[in-house]
Structure 1
């Protein structure tokens, strides 16, 4: 199945060949790569080079390395969770700049809110209103409720993504909101007034979505994200 690799950056060649075999369907999810000895012979490489390649493939979410009697390198199913995990590592390591994150959110959040308004069912709206009520309750607790408020704010954004029905939006925004805390902690100028402003924005977005007003939801979400991105970028300077 595989070809002997060039010795210059051999592990990268191994990664590319196995990755291509997975993408083309030659290696199916749940199947197992050949044993290390066989792979070494096919590629013409050392054990160290092979293990480096397998480590990279595992980091990419393409294989799972299992140990023990039933161990081996198992091909993983490629789905939105893989994408979410990889993006999450970039965000947690702050490999994505605040400016890049701000541009990304401005380009996506408005569309997500508009789709949510168009596609929302009664059950979805009830969940959204319930989360908004929780956010308001946390805000009334004062400073001790701020962390819980931010967590609920994130849940509201994720619920909007889920309501959009777009699997790519869901995967990407799930990754963003699961890992955005480091940016909030470093760049968000925390205050009672700012969190109240945040809550007012959320209430307006939820109202527009509840009324199935896609354009109003889009505009309110966009203005909300732009304003809060601006607050964080000012603190960064």
Structure 2
């Protein structure tokens, strides 16, 4: 799985910039796990590569990984095929958890939804305007196929990867990182929405419409399809919150 998600490492494993390198390193890794960029059973990038991506010392990285291992998020394995592997599993969707997460966000909920809408519709429009390479086109199709073929347990991670992929295709690291940050603000809420078969089918149809528009270079349709998809998700979220 490591090679498949390598494109999205740049969105979440960004250089640490605050004074507390340890805490931000832990935060970056947790974000990658919660967003599904690295899911259960996946291996994190090699220590040297990850430390370079985060711009921290290998000792700081090791300390962060030790803390995450003690908390049950990752596990270190030795040997030829060793490394640090994700052991965390996303919790089952739960309306009670959804309401607790919404309460934690409070008045910031609508702000977070608005930010996501602006960033992701803009990203879809920009991706559609770009002259994408065949490799980039294949990448987006694969992310769509992963979400279409995901089991209920895997769907939320594959959905997240699909949305992050569109940010990657804009060619703007700052925009891709902004989409990842906006999604992490809503991640607990999105993960707690009960998995409804009809809703998944509807979301898949919308994902396909977004993909078709981007690959066809139709920026207006890409923006419109993305807006419809995000508004539908927001409406479902508000419905469960009562």
Superposition TM-score tier, normalisation by shorter sequence: 0.5 to 0.7
Q: Which residue of 2 aligns with 1:22?
A: none
Cα pair 1:113 1:218 within 8 Å, conserved: yes
Cα pair 2:128 2:217 within 8 Å, conserved: yes
Q: Which residue of 2 aligns with 1:53?
A: none
CA distance in 2 between partners of 1:149 and 1:212 (Å): 27
Cα pair 2:123 2:170 within 8 Å, conserved: yes
Deviation at 1:147, TM superposition (A): 3.0
Cα pair 1:99 1:233 within 8 Å, conserved: no
Deviations 1:182-227 (A, max 9, x none): 11244x2421000111111001100111111111101100111011
Are residues 1:117 and 2:128 paired?
A: yes
- What is the aligned counterpart of 1:63 among 11, 16, 19? 19
CA distance in 2 between partners of 1:234 and 1:92 (Å): 12
Output aligned runs, 1:37-52, within 5 Å: none
Deviation at 1:104, TM superposition (A): 1.2
SS in structure 2 of the partner of residue 165 of structure 1: coil
Are residues 1:126 and 2:138 paired?
A: yes
Aligned length: 150
Cα pair 2:116 2:182 within 8 Å, conserved: no
Q: Report the structure number with the largest CA radius of gyration.
A: 1
Judged with a 3 Å threshold, the aligned counterparts in structure 2 of structure 1 residues 206 and 95 are, in CA distance, closer, same or farther, namely: same
Deviations 1:138-194 (A, max 9, x none): 1xxxxxx123112111111111001111222111112233453311244x2421000
After superposition, the CA RMSD in angstroms is 2.8
CA distance in 2 between partners of 1:185 and 1:168 (Å): 25
CA distance in 1 between partners of 2:220 and 2:54 (Å): 30
Q: Which residue of 1 aligns with 2:183?
A: 177
CA distance in 1 between partners of 2:118 and 2:190 (Å): 19
- What is the aligned counterpart of 2:233 among 228, 233, 236? 228
Cα pair 1:189 1:231 within 8 Å, conserved: no
**Gap regions ≥5 residues in structure 2:** 1-15, 23-52, 56-100
Output aligned runs, 1:16-95, within 5 Å: 61-64=17-20, 94-95=104-105
Deviation at 1:102, TM superposition (A): 1.3
- What is the aligned counterpart of 1:136 among 145, 148, 173? 148
CA distance in 2 between partners of 1:63 and 1:159 (Å): 30
CA distance in 1 between partners of 2:198 and 2:152 (Å): 12
CA distance in 1 between partners of 2:17 and 2:214 (Å): 35
Deviation at 1:107, TM superposition (A): 1.7
CA distance in 2 between partners of 1:194 and 1:100 (Å): 24
Q: Which residue of 2 aligns with 1:219?
A: 224
**Gap regions ≥5 residues in structure 1:** 1-59, 67-79, 83-90, 139-144
Which structure carries more relative contact order (alpha carbon 8 Å, separation 6+)?
Answer: 2
CA distance in 2 between partners of 1:93 and 1:168 (Å): 29
CA distance in 2 between partners of 1:153 and 1:161 (Å): 13
Cα pair 1:81 1:171 within 8 Å, conserved: no
